[in-house]
């Protein structure tokens, strides 16, 4: 049997569900010849309601799979996973470059006019030490209002991008930011840009919204080293129902006939250091 001497090289991207597809969309634009693999841990979404230990275990299992499939670069396209797992991932795979996703406090500081900034995030990201460290490092005396937003990711995962119930939920989450008079708000979850017009309506037209997925994709571009003769490919996997995700992608992103494969980690993959 002839063995292919050229190992597979891919960019692996993962998120708790569909949110990281906003990053994948940017990567497909910026790196049109790159082999891409996306894994949506839909059966475990949303990460924002999980404990740090659970999140780290899932991220370890997913990254192990991506590496087995040939990932030479891994994009953690999830703020919550970045906050709770990226240091453990870097320790486990020290030679593998990782790109994380986190709220852009520094760009918000540069953008604000009145010194009041809002952060809209999942409950786990909002409570994370990593976000607090970013605020302490970059806020420079600005007022930062952090709002954990339970329930929003579930609507987006279900394909509900415009219902009255979702609009009412966003109104509730944005009320503290409006009351604080923020003029700049960060969408601190990769799911949230998928309903950006609704956030804007709930905050008001005078508030500028900042999103992160383009910056994350550009950082991945900086780290990616294309192989000779590299050819574009796209593999999408999910721990949930493949047809449901395929239908979501077709409806929301307009990528028709996208094949989605099922993925399930082995039990031994779900052990993680207690860091």
- Domain map (residue ranges) of the chain: 10-101+214-270, 105-211
Spatial CA neighbour of 20 closest among 72, 87, 68, 74: 74
| Residue positions counted in the chain | 275
pLDDT tens-place string over residues 30-56: 999 999 999 999 999 999 889 999 999
Kindly report the backbone phi and psi dihedral angles of residue 57, in degrees, each rounded to the nearest multiple of 5, phi listed first. Answer: -60, -45
- Residue numbering of the annotated binding site for substrate: 15-16, 47-48, 79-80, 190-191
In our burial notation (b when 16+ CB lie closer than 10 A, e otherwise), range 50-72 reads bebebbbbbbbbbbbbbbebebb
Kindly report the backbone phi and psi dihedral angles of residue 139, in degrees, each rounded to the nearest multiple of 5, phi listed first. Answer: -70, -30
Q: How confident is the model at residue 1 (pLDDT cuts 50, 70, 90)?
A: very low
Q: Which of 61-70, 104-113, 116-125, 260-269 has the lowest mean pLDDT?
A: 260-269
Q: What is the pLDDT of residue 80?
A: 92
pLDDT tens-place string over residues 201-210: 999 999 999 9
CB-neighbour burial class of residue 5 (10 A; exposed 0-12, middle 13-18, buried 19+)? exposed
SS3 31: coil
Spatial CA neighbour of 35 closest among 177, 224, 162: 224
Task: Using the Cα atoms of residue 201, residue 163, residue 103 and residue 250 in order, give the sign of their dihedral.
Answer: negative
Q: Whole-angstrom distance between the N-terminal and C-terminal Cα of the chain?
A: 44
pLDDT tens-place string over residues 130-179: 999 999 999 988 999 999 999 999 999 999 999 999 999 999 999 999 99
Percent of the chain past pLDDT 90, that is, above it, reads: 86
List Cβ neighbours of 181 (8 Å cut-off, separation of 6 or more). 114, 116
Concatenated DSSP letters for 204-266? -TTSEEE--HHHHHHHHHHH--PPTT---EEEEEESS-HHHHHHHIIIII--TT--EEE----
Q: What's the gap between Cα 159 and its chain centre?
A: 17
pLDDT at 5 over 50: no
List Cβ neighbours of 56 (8 Å cut-off, separation of 6 or more). 84, 85, 88, 272, 273, 275
Spatial CA neighbour of 131 closest among 164, 100, 95: 100
Active-site annotation holder among 59, 78, 149, 174 = 78
Q: Contact 98/89 with Cβ under 8 angstroms?
A: yes
Architecture of domain 105-211: 3-Layer(aba) Sandwich (3.40)
Distances (CA, A) of 212 to 49, 119, 217, 226, 249: 21, 12, 9, 24, 20
What whole-number distance in Å separates Cα of residue 215 and Cα of residue 251?
25
- Identify whether 189 is a catalytic site residue: yes
- Identify whether 174 is a catalytic site residue: no
Angle at which helix 196-203 crosses helix 164-180, to 10 degrees, equals 50
This prediction has a pTM of: 0.88
- Domain 10-101+214-270 and domain 105-211 have a common topology: yes
CATH for 10-101+214-270 is: 3.40.50.1860
Active-site annotation holder among 59, 149, 174, 189 = 189
Spatial CA neighbour of 103 closest among 150, 72, 69, 137: 137
pLDDT at 103 over 60: yes
């Amino acid at each position: 049997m002839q063995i292919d001497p050229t190992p597979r090289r891919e960019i692996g991207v993962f998120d708790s569900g569909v949110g990281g597809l906003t990053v994948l969309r940017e990567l497909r634009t910026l790196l049109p010849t790159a082999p891409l693999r996306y894994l949506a841990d839909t059966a475990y979404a949303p990460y924002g309601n999980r404990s740090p230990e659970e999140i780290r275990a899932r991220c370890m299992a997913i990254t192990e799979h991506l590496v087995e499939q040939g990932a030479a670069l891994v994009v953690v396209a999830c703020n919550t996973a970045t906050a709770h797992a990226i240091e453990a991932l870097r320790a486990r795979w020290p030679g593998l470059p990782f790109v994380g996703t986190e709220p852009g406090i520094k760009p918000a500081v540069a953008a604000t006019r009145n010194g009041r900034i809002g952060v809209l995030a999942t409950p786990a990201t909002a409570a994370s030490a990593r976000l607090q460290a970013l605020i302490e490092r970059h806020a420079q005396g600005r007022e930062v209002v952090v709002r954990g937003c339970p329930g929003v990711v579930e609507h987006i995962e279900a394909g509900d991008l415009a219902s009255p119930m979702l609009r009412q939920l966003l109104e509730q989450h944005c009320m503290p930011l409006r009351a604080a008079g923020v003029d700049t708000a960060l969408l601190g979850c990769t799911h949230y840009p998928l309903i950006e017009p609704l956030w804007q309506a709930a905050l008001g037209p005078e508030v500028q919204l900042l999103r992160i997925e383009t910056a994350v994709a550009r950082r991945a571009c900086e780290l990616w080293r294309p192989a000779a003769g590299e050819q574009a490919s796209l593999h999408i996997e999910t721990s949930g129902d493949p047809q449901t995700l395929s239908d979501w992608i077709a409806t929301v992103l307009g990528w028709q006939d996208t094949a989605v494969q099922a993925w399930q980690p082995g039990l031994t993959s779900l052990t993680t250091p207690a860091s």
